[in-house]
Amino acid sequence: MENVWKRIKLCEFSVLLQNKMVFKDAVYAKAGRNHVTVKDVLGASKVFKNCKIVEVDVNSERLVLSTENSS
C-alpha cells in the first residue's frame, strides 16, 4: 500500500512585499493587529511589522503583503 504522505503536496507560499520576495516556502501566516507572522515547514518564522495581507494566490503560491500606510 502506497504511503499517503507521498501523495500530499504542501502549498508553500513565496511572501512578497513591495514586489520583492521577503520569505520563501511559507506554510503558515497569521495577521495580527499591525503585523503579519509567517512560518516555514521547519518552524523558521519572521514577523513583518506594520504590514497586512492583501492577496493570497494559491495557484501561484504567492502571499502578498503591503505596508499599513500604503493603499
All 3 cell numbers of residue 46?
519572521
Cβ-based neighbours of 49, under 8 Å, separated by 6 or more: 34, 35
pTM of this prediction?
A: 0.83
Residue 48 is assigned to a structural domain of this protein: yes
Classify residue 41: in a domain, yes or no. yes
Question: Which residue range forms the structural domain that includes residue 44?
Answer: 11-67
Length of the chain: 71
In-domain check, residue 1: no
Q: What is the pLDDT of residues 34-64, one digit of tens each?
A: 999 999 999 999 999 999 999 999 999 999 9
Determine phi and psi for 6, rounding to 5 degrees: -70, -20
Q: From CA 22, how far away is CA 13, in angstroms rounded?
A: 11
CA distance 7 to 24: 22
* pLDDT for position 69: 73
| Predicted confidence (pLDDT) per residue in 4-14, tens digit | 656 666 789 99
Tally of structural domains, the chain: 1
> Is 6 part of any domain?
no
